[in-house]
Homo-oligomer: A and B are copies of this chain.
Amino acid sequence: MYYFAPVTVFSAKVEMDNVLQVVDVAEQVANQIRVSLASQGALAAWNVRLTRLTPGECEIVLPMSAAVTQQHGYFHGGVIGALADVAGGYAANTLLMPDNECLTAEYKINIVAPGIGERLIARGRVLKSGRTLVITGAEVYVRNNGVEKLCAIMQQTLFVIPVTSNPT
């Protein structure tokens, strides 16, 4: 009989080492980002957690669960891409908020290793901040038995827009 093991992993959920670190980012901005991330249904369904914010940088973590797997039980490539997209966007938001935020215009991602492990860690950072467009890069690592391995590399273009309704 086929038993869908990853569901069990999923239930274990939030660990102690996922406290959010905020370094040199205003509390208002960190709050905006936290609230924005929490309000995204897709990220809530995956149990994505925000783990680090510094000016121009954002780290998020995604634990393994049945909801993020491909056919071999590894992290799904589309999920890896989505995580990189989100990390890049919030990296930009650390510089744009509280008044502005950004939309993804486009991104390009190379999957460089299969997503085999217990969690993904995506680290986005701003490469160039313009008035209308922001360019970011992100790496996604997969942690397996405590060892991080590079899994994907992304380059992204974001479009700056005003924050129309402050969700805080």
Write the residues of chain A forming the contact surface with B, with a CB cutoff of 8 angstroms: 1-6, 36, 39-45, 65-71, 73, 76-79, 81-83, 85-86, 103-114, 127-128, 130, 132-133, 135, 137, 150, 153, 155, 157, 159, 167
Contact = CB atoms under 8 A, between A and B. Distances in A.
A132 B106 CA distance: 14
A8 to B, nearest CB: 11
30 contacts: A2-B2, A2-B4, A4-B6, A4-B41, A6-B41, A40-B69, A42-B68, A42-B69, A42-B70, A44-B66, A77-B103, A78-B79, A78-B81, A78-B83, A78-B85, A78-B86, A81-B85, A103-B114, A105-B110, A106-B106, A106-B110, A107-B109, A110-B135, A110-B155, A110-B157, A112-B128, A113-B128, A132-B132, A137-B137, A153-B155
